[in-house]
Structure 1
Amino acid sequence: MEQGAKRIWQMDALRGLALLNMLVYHGMYDWVYVFGHPSRWYDIGSAGCHVWQQYICWSFILLSGASFCLGRRQLKNGLLTAGCALILTAVTALVMPSELILFGVLHFNACAVLLTCLLRPVLEKIPAGAGLAASAVLFAVLNQLPWGYLGFEELHLAAAVPQTLYRANLFWLGLPDLTRFASADYFPILPWLFLFWCGYFGWRWLTGLGRVPAAAKPPAALRPLCAVGSRTLLVYMLHQPAIYGVLLAVDGLTM
């Protein structure tokens, strides 16, 4: 991640690790659910796969929030990501409508970056520690909002959220009408904006403590991983066609 003319290689390495996890996870998803091959261990409804999937998305969103503090072209990056998200929606609608992505992680990331650009003058006035704590609490409380409840994962803190709030189908906000909305990848603004802000305030907090690493060249052994991590958007846009092509060839050989 940029800091001046150099990059913080630890951020690129963590992002590269998350990308590799994503490649394996999506590769298994396509193999099992698109190509129809059974698997004894890969089941997206299982607790293990859920934790794996959550690790991947949490990693990306937290790192993206932290990276906001380091980048110099946040508005441009947000608009570029928004354009890529629209392309992703169009391609899935035309090529694979059963896997249509209406508001996935790219759509969310674009909105999070643009909203943070807009609100940055206000956010910068909030003490980093207080902002981190408040964002973490709000993310936990609103974690199940898209599914009709308040609370984190299986822990419901209150009665169901009134269904009248969902009738307008504000899926982008986190209030979908699940009777008429579906998206193969779904990351609405609420609750995920608060996880993004956990990364943003967390980096500011670590900076205040003097705990952030300095920009430097990565160790030779980690340079390939950092190279992948420094090209997150490109890898994300290309990974599904590449995985599908490889699996299509493997599937043809195994028939």
Structure 2
Amino acid sequence: MEDLRGRASRLDALRGLAVVWMTVFHFCFDLNFHGFIQQRMLSDPVWTWQRASIVTLFLFCAGMGQALALASGQGWPRFWRRWAQVAGCALAVTAGSYFMFPKTFIGFGVLHGLATMLIIARLSGRFGGWLWPMGAVALLSPLVAQALLPGTGLEAAFNGVPLRVLGLVTVKPFTEDYVPILPWLGVVWWGLAAGSWAARHRRAWLEGPLAGGAAARALAWLGRHSLPWYMLHQPVLMGLVGAAAYLARA
């Protein structure tokens, strides 16, 4: 039986909710890709806002998780072991997406951004109340860049390959997934700030017993295994929907 001692089960369940939402979203994406439904998933706000909300929930949970790890005295060796898993999966996503979508492969998607922002969060985890205004600045920075950069001659540099990971772009790159450092670091910082406050004052909110029976336990399980689920669910879904499309055409 899985050892759950020290687990923030409620935070796991919240992350699990993001996993379920992401899985449903990707299932709809695959249905659209194979022509079973007709949706403008890259431009319709119904879909783009869902994507933004899913990423926000994941990264907020990541910030809270780092806060609890710091409060529990987690050392750098354990941090780096987990970080290596995220970074390795990010490289695998790049390779896999290049095979599937060579013109729009994922160069800096959610796992690439997460790997970068986890290091920043770890280094800034003791900033306390400063994390709230820091997060606000990070969230607003791309809007400021879009307002000030055009006409300065700098937009080409920030839109280019090395610097576009910062997120200060005036034109969004054409790629299957793009989660730059800004504004998303702001979400991680706010999660870090909220998690630090909860660790000091309301730890039971995150680590208390789960309500909701089997459904809540299932969500918590998904949250604890979010990385392997993230890596496996889309190849499985794409394979199943692709097989269904093949049979429908046969």
How many Å apart are 1:98 and its aligned residue?
Answer: 4.1
Aligned residue in 1 for 2:107: 102
Q: Give the % identical residues.
A: 27
- Measure, in 1, the Cα distance between the counterparts of 2:174 and 2:40: 22
| Alignment partner, residue 127 of structure 1 | 128
Displacement of 1:5: 3.1
Alignment partner, residue 93 of structure 1: 98
Q: Distance in 1 between matches of 2:48 and 2:8?
A: 30
In angstroms, what is the RMSD of aligned CA positions?
2.7
Per the TM alignment, residue 144 of structure 1 is displaced from its structure 2 partner at its CA by 3.8
The one of the two structures with greater contact order (alpha-carbon pairs below 8 A, sep at least 6) is 2
Q: CA deviation at 1:110?
A: 0.4
2:64 partner amino acid? A
- Output the CA distance in 2 between the equivalents of 1:197 and 1:54: 17
Aligned letter for 1:225? Answer: L
Shift of residue 160, structure 1, vs aligned partner? 4.2
C-alpha offsets along residues 99-118 of structure 1, whole Å, 9 cap, x if unaligned? 4100000000000112233x
Amino acid at match of 1:245: G
Q: Secondary structure of the residue that 1:111 maps to in structure 2?
A: helix
Alpha-carbon distance in 2 for matches of 1:28, 1:161: 39
User: What one-letter code is carried by the residue in structure 2 that aligns with 1:127?
Assistant: G
Q: Report Cα offsets for 1:174-193 as digits up to 9, x if no partner.
A: 245859x5321001112211
1:103 aligned counterpart, secondary structure? coil
Match of 1:149 among 146, 164, 174: 146
Deviation at 1:94, TM superposition (A): 2.2
Of 183, 195, 207 in structure 2, the residue corresponding to residue 215 of structure 1 is 207
Q: When the two structures are superposed, what TM-score results if normalisation uses the length of structure 1?
A: 0.81
- Give the aligned partner of residue 188 of structure 1: 180
Residues 1:174 and 2:167 are matched in the alignment: yes
Secondary structure of the structure 2 residue equivalent to 1:6: coil
Q: Deviations over 1:222-248 (max 9, x none)?
A: 212211111011001111101101101
Q: Which has the higher helix share?
A: 2
Deviations 1:132-160 (A, max 9, x none): 2x134213312446xx515xxxxxxx674
Amino acid at match of 1:183: T
Paired residues in the alignment total 235
Distance 1:46 1:198 in 2: 28
In terms of mean alpha carbon deviation, does 103-112 or 185-194 score higher?
185-194
| Pair 201,104 (structure 1): closer, same or farther in 2 beyond 3 Å | same
1:13 aligns with 2:13: yes
Residue 68 of structure 1 contacts residue 74 of structure 1 at CA under 8 Å; is this kept in 2?
A: no
Pairing partner for 1:76 from 75, 78, 81: 81
Bigger shift: 68-77 or 100-109? 68-77
Match of residue 53 from structure 1:
51
Distance 1:177 1:55, change over 3 A: closer
Structure 1: 5+ residue stretches without partners: 151-157
1:249 maps to 2:243: yes
Structure 2 residue 165 is matched with structure 1 residue 164: no
Alignment of 1:35 with 2:40, yes or no, is no
Paired residue for 2:61?
Answer: 63
Maintained 8 Å contact 2:139/2:182: no
Cα distance in 2 for partners of 1:210, 1:245 equals: 44
